[in-house]
Amino acid sequence: MATAELLELELADSSPSVSDRMRSESHSGGQRRYDDGPTRPQLHPVRPDQSTSDYEDESSRPEDPFAPNERSTMPGSAGEHLLQSAYETERRAHKFYNDQVLDHLNERMKEFIVSMSMAFIATADGHGECDSSFRAGPKGFIEVLGDRHVAYPEYRGNGVMASLGNISENPHVGILLIDFVDELIGLHVNGKARILEDSDLRAIHPGLRSDFERGRKPERWVVVQVEEAYIHCRKHIPRMAFVSRERSWGTDDVKRKGGDYFAAKGTARPWHQSQPQHD
C-alpha cells in the first residue's frame, strides 16, 4: 500500500507560495511537517538560476523508494519511482521495465529506425527549459551506427539552433519515432548527444549516406549514445496515409515556408525593448 505521505506528493513549482514558505520556515531544517506527521517527500524543481550540474547534486534529488541506500539501477527517474509508489503502479511499471526497456538497440529496433522518415526530438537547456522539435527526411535519414549509437542530420534551417543550443548545454535527448502508416507503433530512444560536423562524422563512419535529396546535404550531425530504448504502444496512434506534395527545398520564400501562419508578426515581445535601435 502507498503511504499517506506519498499520496500527498505535490509538484512543486519554481516559485513556492507565501503560505508554503511560511510553513517551511516555521520548522527547522526547512522540512515541512503536517499535523506533526512524518516528513512529506518533496520533489525539488530546477530553479531558474540553477544549472543541471547543480541539480546533479544528490542532496537536491528526491529519495528513490526503490533504492533507499543508493541510486537505483532500474530504468526511470527517482520521480517516476516515487509516483509509482504513490499511485500503486509499481507492479505494472516493473513489468514494463523488465519486459520492454533495453539499454541498447536490438535488431528489430534498428530496422524500425531506418524505416522511419520523421522523428520528434526533445531537449532541454542547462536550466531545464524544454523544447521539442520535428525532424524529417527520406527513409533511413536517421543513421544507426551500432547497438548503442544513432545519428540524425542537421540541415540548413532558420538559424535559431534551438535543439543544438540545448544540447550544447545539456546532452540529454529524447527521440520519439512513430509509424503512423503501417504498423501503428512507436519507439523511444533516450540518451546523451554530441554535435559533430559532417566531415568529422564521415571520417569516423565513411559509410554514411551521400545520396541526398536535391542536394540537401547535412551541415552537421547529432550523435546519440543510447541509454534507453522502448516501445510506445499503438492504442492511441492514429492511422495516416502518405500524400504526394510539391516541396520547395532550400527556399527562403516566406510564403512557401508557411508565412506568418499563426499571426505572430508585429506582436510586442518583452525582448523587443532590449533590442538596439537602428536608424
Cell of 190: 533516450
Judge whether 223 and 196 are in contact, CB under 8 Å: yes
Rounded to whole angstroms, the Cα distance separating 91 from 78 reads 16
- First-to-final CA distance of the chain: 69
Give me the pLDDT at residue 269, please.
85
Cell of 141: 535519414
Helix axes 90-100, 78-86, angle to 10 degrees: 140
pLDDT (tens, 9 = 90+) of the chain, 279 residues, equals 444 454 444 443 333 333 343 334 444 443 333 233 333 334 344 344 444 444 455 556 666 666 654 456 789 998 999 999 999 999 999 999 999 999 999 999 999 999 999 999 999 999 999 999 999 988 999 999 999 999 999 988 878 999 999 999 999 999 999 999 999 999 999 999 999 999 999 999 999 988 776 667 899 999 999 999 999 999 899 999 988 877 665 666 666 666 788 888 888 888 877 666 555
The label of the residue with cell 534529488 reads 61
Give me the pLDDT at residue 263, please.
85
pTM of the model: 0.72
Judge whether 238 and 180 are in contact, CB under 8 Å: yes
CB atoms within 10 A of CB 48: 10
Residue in 164, 157, 147 with CA at minimum distance from that of residue 229: 147
Cell of 38: 512524518
Cell of 109: 529496433
CB-hemisphere CA count at 13 Å for 246? 2
Give me the pLDDT at residue 74, please.
84
Give me the pLDDT at residue 142, please.
96
Judge whether 163 and 153 are in contact, CB under 8 Å: no
b/e per residue 93-112 (b: at least 16 CB within 10 A): bbebeeeebeeebeeebeeb
208 three-class SS? coil
Task: Identify the CATH homologous superfamily for domain 107-232.
Answer: Electron Transport, Fmn-binding Protein; Chain A (2.30.110.10)
Rounded to whole angstroms, the Cα distance separating 40 from 30 reads 12
Rounded to whole angstroms, the Cα distance separating 274 from 260 reads 23
Backbone φ and ψ of 30, nearest 5°:
75, 5
Rounded to whole angstroms, the Cα distance separating 188 from 130 reads 17
Give me the pLDDT at residue 70, please.
47
Per domain, the residue ranges of the chain are 4-100, 107-232
